[in-house]
Chain A
Amino acid sequence: MDIIQLIVLGSALFFFAVVVAMTSKNKITDQYAFMWLTLSVIGVILAVALPFLNRLALSIGIAYLPSLIFLLAFLVVLFLLIYHTSLLSKQESRLKVLIQEVGYLEKELRDARNGDKHP
């Protein structure tokens, strides 16, 4: 195992450990924890399989493996961003309903206190 592989493996294991620690302390909810655990496991597997990947890349005509990894990593990050935007939008629309309901309930309460002057 050469130095670069050790660094990659170390980083992947560290990332995995961070995700496990955050999950155990409930800092990430289950749905996201599972996604990050899966990604970090894939990271560790890729780090271990680096020599094999290099040979595979050469055999299919890719002269420089990192370019492929960067492309894949970029696509994964892009996908995650869209996924998070969709989650954020969902939260926003839920929040909107809650804010409207809070306003409505506050009005009901006020009317009840004032003897229901309005419909």
Chain B
Amino acid sequence: MDSKILIIVPAYNEEQAIVNTVRALEKFVEYDYIIVNDGSTDMTKNLLETHQFNHITLPVNLGIGGAVQTGYRYAVRHGYDYAIQLDADGQHNPEDLRHLVSEMEKRQVDMLIGSRFLEKSNYRGSFLRRTGILYFNYLLRLIARVNITDPTSGYRIVNRRVCEWFAVDYPVDYPEVEVIAKIARKGYKVEETKVEMNARQGGVSSITPVKSLYYMAKVTFFSLIRSYI
């Protein structure tokens, strides 16, 4: 296994979880990581500097899409073969990293998504979240002809070809579902593999009911427009 692999960790106000998350990542010496501190207003920046973690601090908050894209630009610039997105809040289990990489290398797909729902797992989201996930599953089946059981999962690995795309074109907010629709419709191979997810270690979820509706409407609208026109 000699692929060059980068783990991209977007972080916004993650002072409670960031150190544990990176410590867990550092056990995987075969992978590099980059934390993208998205203009956090808490102690995240200080913690990253104090511990000398490999990080980029954006001078202002760009939103999740802008932060993740910074990671993809970094991956392209440094010639990584694969990039893995992993949340800073501890929800994504680093123990699944090797599984993601080996499955990616075995299946030779363009994007492999870590799914909570492919097999029975311990994850239980709220009713609203599960409804949203089901809705996006149908939407993707309809417009991109892919069956993704966990389309909002941020835990995913992509190859260099997709990295190069994302480095120049990545939605600013709520990017997860939209990018699946985009790349799947262009003929890129998107598949899933089972992962476990934990409850978040700190911080609060940024998704409120109103935001969920906006999320669903926005993704539907843009996926349709950008896929068909």
Q: Is B185 an interface residue when CB atoms closer than 8 A count as contact?
A: no
Q: Is B60 an interface residue when CB atoms closer than 8 A count as contact?
A: yes
- Grouping DSSP codes into helix (H, G, I), strand (E, B) and loop, the B interface class, with mixed when no group exceeds half, is mixed
**Nearest Cβ on chain B to A95's Cβ, whole angstroms:** 9
**Nearest Cβ on chain A to B50's Cβ, whole angstroms:** 13
Q: Is A79 an interface residue when CB atoms closer than 8 A count as contact?
A: no
Q: Is B56 an interface residue when CB atoms closer than 8 A count as contact?
A: yes
- Grouping DSSP codes into helix (H, G, I), strand (E, B) and loop, the A interface class, with mixed when no group exceeds half, is helix
Whether A103 pairs with B52 at a CB distance below 8 angstroms is: no
CB-CB under 8 A from A96, the residues of chain B are 62, 66, 69, 172
**Of all chain A residues, which has the CB nearest B78?**
A119
Q: Is A104 an interface residue when CB atoms closer than 8 A count as contact?
A: yes
CB-CB under 8 A from B70, the residues of chain A are 100, 103-104
**Nearest Cβ on chain B to A90's Cβ, whole angstroms:** 14
Whether A100 pairs with B32 at a CB distance below 8 angstroms is: no
**Nearest Cβ on chain B to A65's Cβ, whole angstroms:** 39
Q: Which of B52, B56, B62 sits near A117, CB closer than 8 Å?
A: B52
Point out which of A102, A103, A114 has the most chain B C-beta atoms below 10 A from its C-beta: A103
Whether A102 pairs with B59 at a CB distance below 8 angstroms is: yes
Using C-beta atoms within 8 Å of the partner chain, give the interface range for chain A. 10 to 19
**Of all chain A residues, which has the CB nearest B36?**
A103
**Of all chain B residues, which has the CB nearest A108?**
B56
Whether B52 pairs with A119 at a CB distance below 8 angstroms is: no
Whether B57 pairs with A103 at a CB distance below 8 angstroms is: yes
Q: 8 shortest A-B CB distances, which residue pairs? A: A118-B54, A103-B58, A103-B56, A100-B70, A107-B56, A96-B66, A119-B32, A102-B59
| Interface residues, chain A, with chain B CB atoms under 8 Å away | 96, 99-100, 102-104, 106-107, 114, 117-119
| Interface residues, chain B, with chain A CB atoms under 8 Å away | 32, 36, 52, 54-60, 62, 66, 69-70, 73-74, 77-78, 172
28 contacts between A and B (CB under 8 A): A96-B62, A96-B66, A96-B69, A99-B59, A99-B60, A100-B58, A100-B62, A100-B69, A100-B73, A102-B58, A102-B59, A103-B36, A103-B56, A103-B57, A103-B58, A103-B59, A103-B70, A104-B56, A104-B74, A106-B56, A107-B56, A114-B52, A117-B52, A117-B54, A118-B32, A118-B54, A119-B32, A119-B78
